[in-house]
Amino acid sequence: MKKAVICFLGNPYYDTRTYNLHKSLTARGIAVKVIGFEWKDKDFVTVKGDISVYKLNKSFSSLLYYLKFVSILKLRLFGEKADYYFAEDVQTLPFVTFLGKIKGGKVFYDSRELYGFIAGLRDKKLLQNTIRLIEKFFIKKVDYVITTGDMDTEFIKKTYQLKKVFTLRNLPLHKEEVKPIDLRKKFNIPDELKILVYQGVILHGRGLKIVFEALTKVKGYFLIILGDGEDTDYYKKLSESIGIEKNVLFAGKYNQEELINMTAGADIGLAVIENISLSYYYALPNKLFEYIMAGKPVIASNFPQMKDVIEKHKVGITIDPENTTELIEALERLNSEPNLLESYKENCKLASKHLNWEIEFENLAKFL
């Protein structure tokens, strides 16, 4: 039996891409070990098994947090001999590449973002440049580079002069039947309000500020945020300061099995990403496809890769994320044109037959 090791600086149970990769490799008869990490949940207890998730503490010292991460990762990699090694981010890339090559395995680097150009590092030039140098060195040592979109693939090929780069979009597992959770009943939301859903990490640049601003001017909507992040407290305080806290719910994180059913209970999905970095401009986030799989029309930024999907499949509206008026107009239109909303929902059902992980995974399967 062939073996694979997947390494990810994050919790695989809350990461669609890692979760789906594990599931698909296992389905092909490959014995899979996943090495993940959790530091956001204070009450989290280390879990070991096929999917091992180790507890880290970032609040005391960033240096100690990083050293513990490295020591655990190296120790686990030393103890695993596999046919395939997957580095699911730039943080695991050096260790997976070095030890994977020593052990004679095939190494895949999942460049799920343009790590040298991510928004969170735009004010940390030294760290950003360090990450670029690390990626530049190790990316040329791996066997294959995976990206989440065709524009990312072309950028990586051109920037690093590579050939073995291919696209594996962040598509969800296909669901023949989604079981929507009654969010109105669960959270006591009035029937007359349409429910907007935002799923994902709560960070600056993910569009929450413009959504909040729009909610101060548009009536008839309730926003549910599924996820958490380092800026959660900021946005909770912001919702209170601008007077929309009664129409915004921070519902927290849900695992992959629960998430799609929660999303399916909403009316419209939001993927309004701000143009604050090249990585964001190239964005093709999993939430976009998860909304579609859940049968929810989408309002998203008019960035090229997202716009292409939405216009091709006619599943929603794209807007300029710098223009709050466009978001307000989109919300008002979907509220006043029920036939348009229903049309988008039907198109989501059709699109989900093509935009699913099972089909997309074949892009990777041919290299195994």
CATH of domain 183-352: 3.40.50.2000
Contacts of 192 (CB under 8 A, 6+ apart): 220
CATH of 3-173+357-365, one of 3.40.50.2000, 3.40.50.970, 1.10.510.10, 3.10.20.30: 3.40.50.2000
Residues 51-71 have pLDDT tens digits of 999 999 988 888 899 999 999
pLDDT for 168 equals 97
pLDDT for 193 equals 96
> Where exactly are the structural domains of the chain?
3-173+357-365, 183-352
pLDDT for 162 equals 95
pLDDT for 240 equals 96
In three-state secondary structure terms, 303 is coil
pLDDT for 303 equals 96
Do 3-173+357-365 and 183-352 share a fold? yes
Which residue ranges in the chain fall short of pLDDT 70?
A: 119-123
Contacts of 3 (CB under 8 A, 6+ apart): 30, 31, 32, 33, 80, 81, 82, 83, 84
Strands in 194-199's sheet, in edge-to-edge order, are 248-252, 221-226, 194-199, 268-271, 298-301, 316-319
